[in-house]
Amino acid sequence: MILMVLTSVFVVAVALERTLMMVRGFLALRAVESRVLAPLRQGKLAEARQGCRSVGTPIQQVFVAGLDRATGKVRGDVGMAMSREQRRAVAAFKAWLWMLGTTGALMPFVGLLGTVVGVMGSFRAIGESGQGGFAVVSSGISQALIATAVGLFVALEAVVLFNFLQNLAGGVARRLAYVTDECLELIRLGAVSADSSEGSARAGSSAE
């Protein structure tokens, strides 16, 4: 019983921590749209890179990795760097969720174990007293039923929270993918525009 109650408290604590992280993730994505994508739409790479400072981690690292390579601060491919950091960010949001899923799967069996122990205690009481009756077995049976009920409650709690958080994490991952794609598109368009301007300038110099 104590183990199941502690497990319930642990499940709620993990769920609250993960929910707060998901909320911070949505707020960080909103900051990306206003502080990073808005300057990029105007071709201001340096300003977009500075805007990354107002974005919370781990989402911040996705855009830092891309913009550092786009501005030449770090060598590497912009798309590969952003994709790698995007996978890391999604993994960070989904961390600890496996514990809720595992708890939801195991707790009914833990409750069943409590039921078996309670029934065994009832039979032991019958053997020790040498007589049956409701007064002898009621204590063990009541403990068995309580253990079953608590195990099922913790399992239901864990499964509901697991599905809720999986849905939230999926929402963060999808929105992060959309924003990352737009950021990468704007960076590549800026690079193409810069190459075109340099080509025009060189053509003009040659003509002179």
**The pLDDT of residue 166 is above 80:** yes
Q: What is the pLDDT of residues 95-112, one digit of tens each?
A: 999 999 999 999 998 888
Provide, rounded to the nearest whole percent, the portion of the chain with pLDDT above 70: 83
Can you tell me the mean pLDDT for 141-160? Answer: 88
- CA dist., res. 139 & res. 125, Å (int): 9
**The pLDDT of residue 203 is above 50:** no
**Is 123 domain-assigned?**
no
**Is 63 domain-assigned?**
yes
**The pLDDT of residue 138 is above 80:** no
**The pLDDT of residue 202 is above 90:** no
Q: How many CA atoms lie within 13 A of 84 on its CB side?
A: 9
Q: Could you tell me the residue range of the domain that residue 94 belongs to?
A: 2-102+157-194
Give the lowest-confidence range in 33-47, 93-107, 131-145. 131-145
- CA dist., res. 40 & res. 44, Å (int): 5
The amino acid occupying position 197 is S
Residue pointed to by tokens 């601060």: 73
Residue pointed to by tokens 């509901």: 160
**Is 120 domain-assigned?**
no
- CA dist., res. 44 & res. 64, Å (int): 14
The amino acid occupying position 130 is G
**Is 174 domain-assigned?**
yes
- The two counts, helices (H) then strands (E), for the chain are 7, 0
**The pLDDT of residue 194 is above 70:** no
Contact criterion met (CB below 8 Å) for 152 and 7: no
Judge if the upstream peptide bond of residue 58 is cis by omega within 30 degrees of 0: yes
**Is 70 domain-assigned?**
yes
Instruction: State pTM to two decimals.
Output: 0.81
Can you tell me the mean pLDDT for 72-81? Answer: 91
**Is 12 domain-assigned?**
yes
**Is 161 domain-assigned?**
yes
Residue 83's CB: how many other CB atoms inside 10 A?
A: 17
Number of domains composing the chain? 1
Q: What is the pLDDT of residues 1-36, one digit of tens each?
A: 788 889 999 999 999 999 999 999 999 999 999 999
**The pLDDT of residue 126 is above 80:** no
Length of the chain: 208
**Is 141 domain-assigned?**
no
Contact criterion met (CB below 8 Å) for 76 and 105: no
